[in-house]
Structure 1
Amino acid sequence: MANSNAFETIIGAIVVAVAAGFLYFMYTSTGAGSVAGYEVTARFSSADGISSGTDVRLHGIKIGTVSGLSLDPKTYYAVAHLSISNDVKIPDDSAVKITSSGFLGSNYVAIQPGGSEKMIAQGGELTNTQGAVDVMGLIGRAVMGGGK
């Protein structure tokens, strides 16, 4: 009887350790922990497909994450709060768009650097933005006859 209880205790401890390891792996690999850096904002007419933790990429390289989303009550635009790595300086005239990693890929925020020599500062706003494209809507219009 004592051997059975000891065996069950060991198996239980192994299961708990594996579950904790899995949770740690998921937390670190999904970018759930925000990137240490400075925060800037960008306003989009449509923020479909992004949420807190979504990647922010520059030429395909992850440089930050979306730290939050809010709604501007005056313009009804989605305001994305972007946490950018301190190592990366972004020109203040850079273009920002929501795009996907392919037809079935997840969305991310892509930054295309501008030519300005002035860099965006902590709390600044990137104003050259393009919201998410409704791919399924475009496909539906193409299939149904082109939006007559």
Structure 2
Amino acid sequence: MRALLRENVGEAIIGLAVVLLAAWFVMFAWDRTGGGERAGAIRVTALFPNASGVNVGTDVRVAGLKVGTVSAQKLDPQSYQVAVSLALDPSVKLPSDSTAAITSEGLLGSTFIALTPGGSTKPFKNGDTITDTQGAMDLMALIGQFINKPASTGGTAGGAPATP
């Protein structure tokens, strides 16, 4: 048995490295997808008219700094808006009148929820709802409106002014 172990020590070390790497990857993926939320996170809900691009695990940021993640989302049966549950870092005391907007890092960047702090002296507490929100912009609809914009109606063809 000892001879077998001596002959395969290199393979055993490589196998152990593969198992450790796989365990690290699982923990990393769990954290990035919202599974590994902070203990004691403050849970608030934001109601958005359009939540395109937002999924469980999407970042919640204030001034570009990550302060939480999206933990769940569902359709609100009364308002037909998307109720997005946010798990916020308890060490960041955001005012209870803060606003939320779905935005992206650029034309091809990832989507995130940007919180803008309000002026209230009361911080968020578990169960609060953010109603002052701005949903995701439909980029393809905006491009379509620009392309299909009707021509101006002043003057004649060719741009020459009309004569009376």
Taking structure 2 as the reference length, what is the TM-score of the superposition?
0.76
Aligned equivalents of 2:51, 2:101: Cα separation in 1: 10
Matches within 5 A, 1:14-25: 14-25=17-28
Q: What root-mean-square deviation, in Å, do the aligned CA atoms of Structure 1 and Structure 2 show?
A: 2.6
Aligned equivalents of 1:28, 1:74: Cα separation in 2: 32
- Are the counterparts in 2 of residues 95 and 128 from structure 1 also a CA contact under 8 Å? yes
> Which residue is equivalent to 2:127?
123
Aligned equivalents of 2:24, 2:145: Cα separation in 1: 46
Note if 1:49 corresponds to 2:53: yes
2:37 equivalent among 34, 39, 42: 34
Distance 1:11 1:98, change over 3 A: same
Deviations 1:115-138 (A, max 9, x none): 122222211111111111112221
Larger radius of gyration, structure 1 or 2? 2
- Aligned residues, how many? 147
The one-letter code of the counterpart of 1:133 is M
Structure with greater proportional strand content: 1
Aligned equivalents of 1:18, 1:98: Cα separation in 2: 34
Q: Which runs of 5+ in 1 are unaligned?
A: none
- Are the counterparts in 1 of residues 34 and 56 from structure 2 also a CA contact under 8 Å? no
Q: Identity over aligned residues, as a percent?
A: 45
Q: Which runs of 5+ in 2 are unaligned?
A: 152-164
> Which residue is equivalent to 1:77?
81
Deviates more, 1:110-119 or 1:76-85: 110-119
> Which residue is equivalent to 2:90?
86
Aligned equivalents of 1:147, 1:113: Cα separation in 2: 40
Taking structure 1 as the reference length, what is the TM-score of the superposition?
0.84
The one-letter code of the counterpart of 2:132 is N
Deviations 1:59-99 (A, max 9, x none): 11111111100111122110010111111112122110100
